[in-house]
Amino acid sequence: MNGQIPVLLVRGQNLAEAWENSLIQLYEQGCDIKTEYDKSDDPPSKDCSMTLVVEEPLAEPMIHMDFPGGLEDLQEYVLEVLDGIKDHCVRNKADDPNDTRWEYTYHQRLFAYKVPGVESVFDQIEIVAQKLAKTPYSRRAQAITWKVWEDNDCYDPACLQSIWCRILPDDYGQWTLNTNVRFRSNDAYKAAFMNMFALIMLQQRIASRITELSGRPIHLGRYVHQADSYHIYGVYFNEFHGRFINALNDRSFAQRTMAYATVKEFMDAAIPGILEKANKMGRN
């Protein structure tokens, strides 16, 4: 591999197609490399730097049936990222040095970013929406998660690094929201699909907020997902091959995917139970 991490680019009309294409390319062209989480006898991971383009983020089928997890898990993760249902699970070492809860949640970092010594709490998503409602072509509309004073030394630093948005008129003059997301590290098989699904839901929420602020309808443009390290852990290879790779030969694309519209009612119905479960989590 001449010491160079492969740089791969994949596209898909919808999320399910793009995610599937990304795993195929990673599996076939990725390099072998160890990780900081490996046990001594774990095989190396398959890794690359990935740029994944979803041409129409809300196009069906959105859901790939071979992502690890179920529809209720997916709904729970969306609520975690967009609505902060697990923000209370974040540790508070200032009050309790022995607190062993989570280092962060993405919702907290995006919607309530805190800086030591600064009284203000920054809702970065609202800032992005306000900036683009005022100046749609601005290149400065972004939200970040990294806290240099914390994340360089903590055990489990944030993987998502930034969300960048910009509006471009289409051929009919309609405003279209383009979104770039960057991860420093992304578990391609176990986590990336849910990451992307939730962040597309966030893209939709940002578009709705800009519509409210500007009075102009905002349409969703392409979603770009960039990962410096897009990987499949070696310890998951048997599961990945048995569940994902074999399905490519055993089932058609239509049989490997489903429309979000057909399961949205089920996912919405699961919300009360998810909220009840989340309420019980993370308490000392």
Q: Is the pLDDT of residue 176 over 70?
A: yes
Q: What are the boundaries of each domain within the chain?
A: 7-279
Q: Residue 109 — φ and ψ, nearest 5°?
A: -70, -35
Q: Is the pLDDT of residue 246 over 90?
A: yes
Percentage of the chain lying above the pLDDT 70 cut: 96
User: Per-residue DSSP letters for 198-267?
Assistant: HHHHHHHHHHHHHHHHHSS-EEEEEEEEEEEEEEE-GGGHHHHIIIIIHHHHHS-HHHHEE-HHHHHHHH
Residue 68 DSSP label: S
Instruction: Classify strands 142-144 and 175-187 as parallel, antiparallel or unpaired.
Output: unpaired
* d(C-alpha 72, C-alpha 269), whole Å: 9
Q: What is the mean pLDDT of residues 121-136?
A: 98
Condensed to tens digits (0 to 9), the pLDDT of residues 253-281 reads 999 999 999 999 999 999 999 999 999 88
3-state SS string over 186-211?
EECCCCHHHHHHHHHHHHHHHHHHHH
What are 94's two structure tokens?
Answer: 């200032």
Condensed to tens digits (0 to 9), the pLDDT of residues 190-237 reads 999 999 999 999 999 999 999 999 999 999 999 999 999 999 999 999
- 161's CB contacts (< 8 A; 6+ apart) are 144, 145, 146, 182, 183, 184
- 177's CB contacts (< 8 A; 6+ apart) are 132, 165, 166, 167, 203, 206, 207, 210, 218, 219, 220, 221
- CATH superfamily of domain region 7-279: Thymidylate synthase/dCMP hydroxymethylase domain (3.30.572.10)
pLDDT: is 92 or 45 the higher one?
Answer: 45
pLDDT score recorded for residue 41: 84
Q: Is the pLDDT of residue 37 over 80?
A: no
What's the pLDDT band for 18 if we cut at 50, 70, 90?
very high
Q: Three-class SS of residue 28?
A: helix
**pLDDT, mean over the chain:** 94
Q: What is the mean pLDDT of residues 63-72?
A: 95
* d(C-alpha 191, C-alpha 186), whole Å: 7
Residue 122: name the closest of 131, 109, 132 by CA.
109
Q: Which residues pair with 113 in a beta bridge?
A: 122
pLDDT score recorded for residue 102: 76
What's the pLDDT band for 282 if we cut at 50, 70, 90?
low
- One-letter identity of residue 84: G
- 145's CB contacts (< 8 A; 6+ apart) are 104, 106, 109, 110, 113, 158, 160, 161, 162
pTM: 0.95
